[in-house]
Structure 1
Amino acid sequence: MITETAPGTAIRTARIPGSKSLTNRLLLLAAAAEGTSRIHAPLVGGDTVAFRDALRECGIPVDSSPLDEYWEVTGAGGGPTGRARVWCADAGTAARFLPSYTATGSGTFLVDGSSQLRARPLQALLEALRGLGADIEAGPGNGLPLLIRAEGLAGGEISVESSPSSQYLSGLLMAAPLMRDGLRVRAPGLVSRPYIDMTLALMRRYGAEVTEGGDGDLRVEPGVYTAVDTVVEPDASTASYVFAAAAVTGRTVTVPGLGTGSLQGDLRFVEILAKAGAEVRVDEAATTVTGTGRLRGGFTVDMGDVSDTFMTLAAIAPLADAPITIHGIGHTRLKESDRIAAMAQNLRACGVDTDQGTDWITVHPGTPRPARIACHHDHRVAMAFSVLGLTTPNTLTLDDPRCVAKTFPGFHGELCRLFPWYEPPVGAAESVEEHR
C-alpha cells in the first residue's frame, strides 16, 4: 500500500507478520489455562508451527482457522499428562519453554530437536528444574534430547543463571503458577530484560499474580491461568529490517500495529536509527521511519536488551560516515549461529573492515563488493544482508535464502514489493509474485 502524503513523497506500509516471541508465549499460556483461548494473527513460521505442533503432541488441542487468521487453544488447566515425544525442530523457544511446562504435568516426555538445536546450551535451565525436583535425563553436553519424568513441581526459591538466554527464565516463570508453592526466582546476569517484561505482562493478562522485589527478585504465586483472546502484534525484530531499509534508501516505511503500547522491547531499535540520522515517528497506532540520505556513525551502542536487532544495524553500518561499535551482545554467540562471528565473516567477504571481541563488534565504513553471504542457516543473517543488498543491487547473494521461513516466510517478496529494484535471491523468487 502506498499513501501519498505530499508531492514527491510516499509512505510504504509494510506487511510484517506477527511476533514470534508473543505467539509462542501465548501458545504456552493458553495451553496451561482453563478454557479456550484464541490467538489472532499469529506468526505462521517455522518456529511457531513447531511450537504449536509440539503442544499438540503433548495432548493440547490447537485448532487453526482455514487461513490461519487465528489459532484456538483448548487449555489443560495445568501441565500436560500422558506420554509424548515433543519435537522442537529448530525452535529455541520451544526447547527453552516446554521442559518447564511439561515438568509441571504428569507423565513421560521426550523433548528433542534438530542437530542445530541440540548444540544450543540448556545447562542453566536443567540446573534450575532439577533444583525444583524435576527428574530429567539430558543428552550429551547437557542439551537435547531431554527425557522428563513429570510428577509436578513443588516450586520454591531458585537462582537462574540467565546470561546465556532470558528464555530459561521466561519458561520457568510461565510454568510457576502451576507449581504447588509458586516460585521465587533470582536471575543474575540477566540479558534481554524486555523479553522478561513481555513474559510478565502476558502472564498477568492470563491471571497470574506476579510481584517484583526491590532487588529484582520475582515472586509468582500458585494459581490457575484463565483463557484470554489476544491479537498478536507485528514482530518488532522483523520490522527492524524494513525500518533499516528505509533509513539507507531514503524512503519512508510505516508498520501499523507497532506503537507506543507495544510489549516488544525490540521496537527500541528505531531509537538507534534515529541516533544514526533517520527520522522516526512512533504513535499509538504505528511506527514510521524515513531515511534522510545520510547515515551517521561514530557512536557506540549497547544492544544487549535488543540483541535480535544488532545484526540489522551491523549490516547497514558500512554505509555510515564513521565506525559503529555494538556491545553487550556476547550471548548472541550461542544463538542459531555465532552471530558476532557470522556478521564479521560476511562483512569481511564484502570488503568491509570489522573488529570483534567477546561481546562486541566494530564495523567500519566501506563500499560493499560482490560476495556470497554464508547464512549459517540463520534467518537473521539472511534478512540483515538482504537489506544491505538494497544499496548495492546485484552484488550480494545468499547461500540459504529460504532460511527466512523461520520467522518471515514471505520476506523476500515483501522486500521486493516495498523496494521494487530488490532482486530476490535464487531459490526465493517463486514466492515473490504473491507478495507484490
Structure 2
Amino acid sequence: MFQLPGSIKTPKDFLGLIEKKYLVLGLLSFFSLSALTIYSSKPLQKLISPLIPFQRLETLKEDKPGYEVFGFAPYWTFNKLSNVDFSTLTTLAYFGVEVGADGNLDKSSKGYETFMSPKATDTFKKAHNYGTRVVLTLTQMNNPNILALMDDPEAQSRVITQAVEEVKNRGIDGVNIDFEYTGNPGSEYREKFSKFVDNMTKWMHQEIPNSKVTVSVYASSVKDPKIYDIKALADSSDGIFMMAYDFAVAGSSNAIPTSPLYGHKEGKYWYDVSTAVEHFLSKMPSDKLILGVPWYGYNYAVEEPKIKTATSKGYYTYYKKGKRTYSQFIPYKSYAQTYTLATNNITPNSDDITDYTEGFDEYGKVSYKAYYVPSLGTWRMIFIEDQKSLGLKYDFAKEKGLAGVGMWALGFDDGKTEMWSLLREKFGLKDLANNTVLAKEIR
C-alpha cells in the first residue's frame, strides 16, 4: 500500500508538499542524475511527494472476486430498497452529500441527514452483513463551484479531510466522486481535477485500509473531455463509473433511447454506449471500468409512434375575451420514469391509453412502449431498459472484460424482482470468502 513520509500528517501537508516540489527537486540535484530521471514522470502522473514514485493502484476486481455490481442509492429512494439483493450487489453508493466551493460538506442538506439516519445505519449494516461495500457519493453539479474548488488547494484539503472523517466515523468503505461539469474549461482544470482525485485516493488509502475511491464521468468524456482526463483518473483512482445514459434527455428533439448500445456507426445516433466504451478503453484498462446503466427512461410526447420521431412540444387553445380572441400555448411534458412506474402504469389496460404497442429498437437494442392519450390528443413513447435490453448490455460488459456494471438507481426497481434475477443470472452471487467488508462495523 502507498506509504507517506512521516512528516505528512494531513491532506494540507500533501498539498503543501506539491507547492514546494520545485524546491525539493532542486535539493535532489545533489543526488545522481538517474534518481532525478526516475522522479520526473509524465505530467498527468505528478507525485504527491517527489520522493515517492507513482504507483498504479489495485483494480476493483483484485480486491473482491467476480464482477462489480455497483448501485447508486439516492436519499430519495431510501424507503424503496427492500428489493435490493445484497447477495449480488457488491457496492452500494449512497447518493449523496454535496461538496461546497469552500470544500465543506453540506451537513444541513437532506442528503446528509439521511446519510446519518437510523434507516441508513440499518441499510449499511445489512450491506456489510452480505459483504457489500458501502461508499459515500460526494456531489457537485454547479460549474462555478467546481472551478472554485479546483482553484483552491485549501478547500481541496478540507473536503479530503472531511470525507475521510465521514467514512471513518460511519465505518464504511470509501467514496465515489460525482462532479458533473458541463462545458470545457480547458486542460488546466482537467489536470487539477485529476490531481484532486489522486490526493483523495492516496489519503483515503493511507487512513482507511481496503477503502475504495471511484469517479463518475459522462459517457462522452473521451469525445468531449470537460474536466475529465480519463487516463489520469483511471491511474489515480480505483475505478471509473461510466454514466452510460442520458444520450437523450427530456428536452431532446427526437425520441431515442437514453442508452443506445449501438447505432452511432450506422448513422442513427450521435453517439452510443459501445462507441463510448471503445473510446474509454483506448485510454484506460478494461478492468477498472464500470458500465453504468439506467433503470429509467424518458417518456416523450411524439408526433407519431416511431423511433427517432420528432417530439411534440405542445398545442394551442383559443378563447375569447370581449371582442378579442386570444391563444394560449399548452406545453406537453416529457419526463423521466422509473422502470417500476413504466411497467406498472403503461399497459394496454391503463386508463386514458389506446393503441398501445411495444417494440424493440434493433440499432439501440432498447425496448420501447408507445400509446395514444385521447384526453390530450397526442401520442407518447418511452424507451425503457428491460430484461432484454439490459441483458445485452451486461453481456457486452463481460465480453469487453470490464470490471462490471452499475445502476442508476436502486429503488427505481421498487417491487420488481426480475431486475435482480437478471443480475444474478449474468454475474452470479458474491464470493464471501475472506471478504474484508464483513469484519467492518457500521457506526
TM-score normalised by the chain length of structure 1: 0.25
Mark the structure with the bigger radius of gyration: 2
Taking structure 2 as the reference length, the TM-score comes to 0.25
| Higher RCO (C-alpha 8 Å, min separation 6) | 2
